[in-house]
Structure 1
C-alpha cells in the first residue's frame, strides 16, 4: 500500500515539474520579444513613457500659445450663427416655449401671494424673450455671444491644462531634449547654452542611456499633430479648443530627445527601468530552468512502461465514445486554451513575484497543481480522440452522429414546414428581444417608455397567440390519446390555416379511417365466417353423396341396375369435388400471385368467339337470347391466352347459371384509348346485394341458397387473372341488371 502511494506521489511530483517546465517555455515564447532585446528603452513600456513626455512637451512648449492670442484667433462661421439661432426652432416656437416654461411658475407664485417672486420670474422670462428676439435681428449679436462662449471654453482649457504642469516638470527632469521648429527656426531645449560643441558633448553614448533623433530612416520629423491623440481624457473634452490651437501652432520639429544616464536613478522612469532589469533576469532563469525541467520530466513521464504509455481503460473509452465527435474536438480545443491560460497565469505569478512571499508561493504551488491536473486530463482526452481518428470507417459513423449533423437534421425538421419554422423563429426572437429590452430597461429606466407600449401592442398579442396555440395543441393531444384508447370522440374543430389546423384535419381523417377500418374488420370477420361455412357446404355436399352411395354399394344382393346407378352418381360427385378442389387451389395461387403468365400476341375478339363456341350447345338449349357486338377489326393484346380464356369461360358459365330465363344477354367488345373493353350484361334470376365487392370473395355466390352447381370461385379467379395482366374487372349492379366490365391494355 505504501509503495502505491509513493508511486502516486512521485507521479504528481513529475507532473508538477512538467507543468512548471511547460509554463517556462510558454513564457519564453510569449515574452521573449520583450526581454531578449536586452534594452528597456526598446520596450513598449518605455515607448509609452516617451510619448507621454512628447505629449506634455507639445502641450506646454511646442504648441504653447498665449491665452490672449488663442482668444484673438477665434472665428465664427455662418453655419455656427445659424445653428445657434435655430437650435431650439424658429422665433415663435422658442418664444412660446419660454412662456410655457414660466407660466406655471408665475401663477404658483401669485397664488402663494409672492408678488416679488412672480415679478422676478416675469423679468427673467422677458429677458430671455428679448435675447431670443435679438438673435433673429442681428448676426453680430449672435457672433458676440459665440465668441464669449468660446473664450470661456479657452479659459477652462488653460485652467485644466495647468493641472498637468507638475507631471510635465517631472518628465522634463528625466529627459533631455533639443528640438528646432523647421518653419520658424525657433529652438526648444532644456540644456542651457546651445551650440554645436555642447550638442555633441550632450547627446552621445557616454552621457546618454537613450537617444531618439528626428528625423532618421525610421523616424520622421516630430509632429505635434500626432501627439494630440495622447491628451488626457479631461483635456480631450475640449476638442474644439485643441483644434483651434493646432490650426495656429502645429509644426514639424527636428532634433533629439534623450535620457541621461545620471537621470535614471532619480527620474520618473527609475522604477520602471530597474523593474525591467529585475524581470529580465527572472525571465531568463525561469525560461532556462523550465526548459531543463520540461526535458527531464518528459523523459520520466513518457518513457516505456510509464503511466502515460498505458492502455486506456475500456470503461473510460466507452464513456468517452458517448460524446459526439465534434463536441469532443471542441472540448479538446477548450482544454488546450484552458491549459494555455493556466500556463500564462503560472508564468505571470512567477515573473511578477511580489513582496508577500508566502501568499505568492502558495498561489504558484496551487496553480501548478491545477495546471498539472488539467494537462493530464488534456493528454488522455487527446489520446482517446487520436485513437478515434485512426479508423476511417468508424470516423464516418461518428461524424453521422455528431452534434452538428444532428442539429442540422433537427433544424431541417423544424423547417420541414417553412411556415411553422419561420413562426417559431419569429416568436423566439420576439421573446429574446423583450427579455433583452427588459434587462436594458432595468439598467436604463428611460427605456421602460419603449418597453411598455411594445409589450402592450406586441408582447401581449404574442402571449395570447401562444396560449391559444398551446391550448389547441393540448386539445389535439387529448383527442389522439382517446383514439389510442379506442374512444372515437367528435371531430376536432379546424381553426384557421395553421399547421395545427392541418394536423387536426389529418387526425379527423385518421379517425374516420379508424371507423372505416373497424367496419372493414367486422366485414372481414363476417366474410371469413361465410367463407368457412360456404367451403364446408360446397365440399361436404358431394362428399356426403359419395360416402352415402359407397355404403349403398356394400348392400348384399344389390341389383346390377342399382349398382350402375350408384356408381354413376359417385363418379359425378367425385368429378364435382375435383372441380371444387381445383378451383380452390387455383384461386389460392391467384391470390398469392404465385403463378406464371405465358404472354403472347392474341386476338381478343377471336378468343371470345372461341369461348362462346365452347358453350354453343348449352346456349342453344337455354331460353336465353345472346346479342354479341364485335369490332370489324381484330383487337390484339399481349396476354396469356389460356388464362384469359378461363376468364371468359367463368363469366359465360355464370351467365348461363344465374341469368333469368327468357331474357337477353349482351356481350360487346370495343376499343377506347389503347384499351380493350369487354362488357357482359344480363338479368339475374336471384336478388343481388348492392355491395358488388362481396361477389369477388371466394365461395360467394349470387345463389344464396347454393342450389346451383357453381363453386363461388369463378369471379374471384377471373378478377385475379385480369389483375395479373395489369387490367381491371369491375361489376355494376342496377336492380337485377348484372354488368361485368373487363378492361385490358392493347398494343
Structure 2
C-alpha cells in the first residue's frame, strides 16, 4: 500500500474537476454563506453571540481556503491526493477482510497453475518444477485432484485506486488443484473440507447399506410370494373389486401410484445425500420413506399384474372400453370441446383483447407454478417474491384498473338506458375497453343529437302548422270577406270590379300555395319523374332572367351576371331546373336590399358546374341557415312578402333529384346560394 501511495499522480483535469466540483468560486462562496446564515441568525436570535462568532469564523475559514485554492493548483492537488489515499486505504482494508478465507483455502488445497500467455507459474507446492508437479499431482499422493482452467474472459482483473498499474489483468490460467493425503500436508479433522469429506463418505456408506438392504428385501419378497400360495390368494381376492373400476381410471391409478413410487426413490436419495447430518437423528425418517416407497411399489406391481391380465384378453377389452369414463363422457366432452372452441374464437374476435387475456392468464398460472417450486426448495422464495413484484403486482393493478373502467362503462350504459346522458367517459389508451368507452361516447352524442333533432322537428312541425295555417287563411279570409261584400245590394259597379279583382288575385295566391305544397309533398314521396335532356345551363339561366326583364328595369337592384365563354351542358330536366332558377331569382327580388347589387355567376370546376346567386338581404338572417330549407320558412319572418315559403325547399328537392347539391352561405347580411351539377362532355 505504501508503494502504491508513492506512485500516486494527479493531472490537471483531476485538479480542475475537484476545483469546480461544487461550482465556480462565486457559487461556492454563495453556498457557504447560505449554509451558515441560518445557524448564525438562530444563534443571534438566542442572544448567543459566542456561538454566532464561531459560525462566522468557521465560514470565513472555509471561504479563505476555497479562495486560496482557486489561486493555486497545489491546494487542490493535495486534496485529490488525500482522496486517492483514502480510496487506497478502503481498498486494502476490504481485501484484508478476505485474508482469513484465503488462508483457510490455502491450507486446504494444493495447486499448480501456469499463465498460458507468459508461462509464469502460481503454486504452493514445495517443488514447483513442471515435471515434478505432474508426477506429484495424482491420486497416489492426493485424496482428490482435478484439472482446472480459467479462460481469458473469466480471469481476475482489478486495479488499485490511484495506482496506474493493473494487477494480473485478464490472465488465463491452466493447471490442477488437489487435496493432499500425505501426513505432512494432510488436513486436520476440524478443517471444513475434511469435515465435508467425512460426511460424504458416511452418506456413501448409508446409501450403499440402504441399497443392498432394499435389494435383499425385494428378492426375499419375491421368494416368499412365490412360495406362499396364501399371499397370492389374498391378492387375487381383490381383483373382482378392482376390475369393477373403469379401465381408464385403473390406468390413471397405476400411473399415479407408480409415479409416487419413483418420487419416493428420489426422496430417499435426497434424504441421504443432502438432508442427513446425524445418522441417529435421521434414521427414522429414512426408514419411513423406505416403508412408504415399498408400499407404493407393491401396489404398483399388483396393479400391473391385474392390468396385464385384462389387457391380454383383446376380445373382452372392447367391452371394457365401452364402460370407460372417457367413452361414457365422450359425447359430453365433444360438446364441451365445441363450446370451448366457440368461446375461444369469441374471445379472439378482438385479437388485442384475446392476447391481453392470454397474457394475464399465463402470468397467473405461471405464478402458480412458481409457487409450487417453493415447496420443492425454499430457496425459490426469493425468486418467487421477485416474480410477484415484477409480474404479479402489475397484473393485479392492471386487472383492478380494467375492472373499475369496465364498471364505469356499465354504469354509463345503465344511465343511457334511462335517458340520463351525463358526462363523457374518459378514453385513455388503445385497449378494447377504451374503444368501447369511445363508442359509448359516440352513442351518447348520437342520442343527444337525436333528442335535439327530435326537439327541432317538434318545433319545426309546430311552426309548419302555424305557417301553413297563416298562409292559407290569409287569402281565404280575403276571398270570404269580399265575397260577402259582393252579396250586398249597395255595392257600386266600380267597387264590385275592385272586389272581384281582389278575389281573383287571392284565389290565384291560394292556388299557388296549394300547388307548391302538393309539389313538395310529391317530391318528398319520390313520385317525381324527370325527363332528362342535354341542356345548356347558361342558355337556360338566360331564359329565366329574361322573364324578369321588366321587373329588373323597374327595380333599384343592379345585376352583375357572369357567364362562361362556352356553353355548359348538363343532363337535366329543363322545366324543373328552370323552376329552380325562377324561384331563386324571385327570392332575389323579394328579399334583396334596395339599391344593392346582385351577383349571378356560372363557372366550371373540374367536372362540375357551379351556379351562384349572391345578394344583400333586407332582413336580418337567421344563424341556422338549414332551417331556410324547411317548408313555409321565409327570410321575412313577419311574412309580409308574397310567396309560399316553399321555394327553397322545392329548389333543393329538384337539385337533389339531379344528384347535385344546393348550399346556402351567409356572411353578415350577404346571402349566397350555390348549385353544383355534373357536366356532360359528350
Q: TM-score normalised by the shorter chain: which range applies? A: 0.5 to 0.7
Aligned partner of 1:630 among 538, 543, 563: 563
Aligned partner of 2:189 among 107, 114, 124: 124
Q: Give SS of 1:469's match.
A: helix
Q: Structure 1 residues 610 and 129, CA, compared in 2 at 3 Å: closer, same or farther?
A: same
Equivalence for 1:295: none
Q: CA deviation at 1:679?
A: 0.5
* Cα distance in structure 2, aligned partners of 1:477 and 1:168: 70
Q: Give SS of 1:125's match.
A: coil
Q: CA deviation at 1:684?
A: 1.0
Q: Structure 1 residues 414 and 640, CA, compared in 2 at 3 Å: closer, same or farther?
A: farther
* Cα distance in structure 2, aligned partners of 1:557 and 1:660: 44
Equivalence for 1:363: none
Equivalence for 1:451: 384
Q: CA deviation at 1:413?
A: 3.9
Aligned partner of 2:665 among 695, 718, 732: 732
Q: CA deviation at 1:125?
A: 3.4
Equivalence for 1:340: 323
Equivalence for 1:479: 412
Q: CA deviation at 1:565?
A: 2.2
Q: CA deviation at 1:644?
A: 1.0
Aligned partner of 1:678 among 603, 607, 611: 611
Q: CA deviation at 1:570?
A: 1.4
* Cα distance in structure 2, aligned partners of 1:127 and 1:555: 143
* Cα distance in structure 2, aligned partners of 1:451 and 1:697: 72
Aligned partner of 1:699 among 622, 632, 641: 632
User: Is the 2:188–2:194 Cα contact (8 Å) retained in structure 1?
Assistant: no
Q: Structure 1 residues 574 and 471, CA, compared in 2 at 3 Å: closer, same or farther?
A: same
Q: Is 2:408 the partner of 1:465? A: no
* Cα distance in structure 2, aligned partners of 1:572 and 1:406: 79
**Corresponding residue pairs, total:** 425
Q: Structure 1 residues 707 and 154, CA, compared in 2 at 3 Å: closer, same or farther?
A: closer
Equivalence for 1:538: 471
- Consecutive unaligned residues of structure 1, counting only runs of 5 or more, are 1-77, 91-121, 133-144, 174-232, 239-274, 288-334, 345-373, 383-398
Equivalence for 1:656: 589
Q: CA deviation at 1:741?
A: 0.5
After superposition, give the CA deviation of every residue in 1:567-614 in whole Å (9 maximum; x if it has no partner): 222121111111101101111122232322221111111111111112
Q: Give SS of 2:613's match.
A: strand
Q: CA deviation at 1:130?
A: 12
* Cα distance in structure 1, aligned partners of 2:326 and 2:635: 95
Equivalence for 1:136: none
* Cα distance in structure 2, aligned partners of 1:572 and 1:341: 101
Q: CA deviation at 1:487?
A: 3.0
Q: Structure 1 residues 166 and 510, CA, compared in 2 at 3 Å: closer, same or farther?
A: closer
Matched ranges for 1:487-506 at <5 A: 487-506=420-439
Superposition RMSD on alpha carbons, in Å? 4.7
Equivalence for 1:585: 518
Q: Structure 1 residues 161 and 462, CA, compared in 2 at 3 Å: closer, same or farther?
A: closer
Equivalence for 1:305: none
* Cα distance in structure 2, aligned partners of 1:705 and 1:725: 33
Greater RCO, 1 or 2 (C-alpha within 8 Å, sep 6+): 1
Matched ranges for 1:41-440 at <5 A: 85=145, 123-126=188-191, 128=193, 339-341=322-324, 410-439=343-372
Q: CA deviation at 1:131?
A: 11
Equivalence for 2:622: 689
Q: Structure 1 residues 499 and 336, CA, compared in 2 at 3 Å: closer, same or farther?
A: farther
Q: CA deviation at 1:618?
A: 1.7
After superposition, give the CA deviation of every residue in 1:303-355 in whole Å (9 maximum; x if it has no partner): xxxxxxxxxxxxxxxxxxxxxxxxxxxxxxxx9987433999xxxxxxxxxxx
Q: Is 2:667 the partner of 1:667? A: no
Q: Structure 1 residues 555 and 416, CA, compared in 2 at 3 Å: closer, same or farther?
A: same
Q: Structure 1 residues 638 and 558, CA, compared in 2 at 3 Å: closer, same or farther?
A: same
Q: What TM-score results when the alignment is normalised by the length of structure 2?
A: 0.54
Q: Structure 1 residues 552 and 436, CA, compared in 2 at 3 Å: closer, same or farther?
A: same
After superposition, give the CA deviation of every residue in 1:520-550 in whole Å (9 maximum; x if it has no partner): 3322222221111111000001111111111
Q: CA deviation at 1:129?
A: 6.4
Q: Is 2:607 the partner of 1:711? A: no
Runs of 4+ in structure 1 displaced over 6 angstroms? 81-84, 87-90, 129-132, 149-173, 335-338, 402-406
After superposition, give the CA deviation of every residue in 1:244-271 in whole Å (9 maximum; x if it has no partner): xxxxxxxxxxxxxxxxxxxxxxxxxxxx
Q: Give SS of 2:324's match.
A: helix
Q: Structure 1 residues 494 and 582, CA, compared in 2 at 3 Å: closer, same or farther?
A: same
Is 451-460 or 161-170 further displaced after alignment? Answer: 161-170
Q: Structure 1 residues 86 and 555, CA, compared in 2 at 3 Å: closer, same or farther?
A: farther
Q: CA deviation at 1:410?
A: 4.3
Q: Structure 1 residues 593 and 85, CA, compared in 2 at 3 Å: closer, same or farther?
A: farther
Q: Give SS of 1:123's match.
A: coil
Q: Structure 1 residues 496 and 169, CA, compared in 2 at 3 Å: closer, same or farther?
A: closer
* Cα distance in structure 1, aligned partners of 2:655 and 2:194: 106
Q: Structure 1 residues 169 and 729, CA, compared in 2 at 3 Å: closer, same or farther?
A: closer
Q: Give SS of 2:349's match.
A: coil
Is 430-439 or 567-576 further displaced after alignment? Answer: 430-439
Q: CA deviation at 1:705?
A: 0.9
Aligned partner of 2:447 among 480, 499, 514: 514
Q: Give SS of 1:637's match.
A: strand
Is 433-442 or 647-656 further displaced after alignment? Answer: 433-442
Equivalence for 2:551: 618
Q: Is 2:500 the partner of 1:567? A: yes
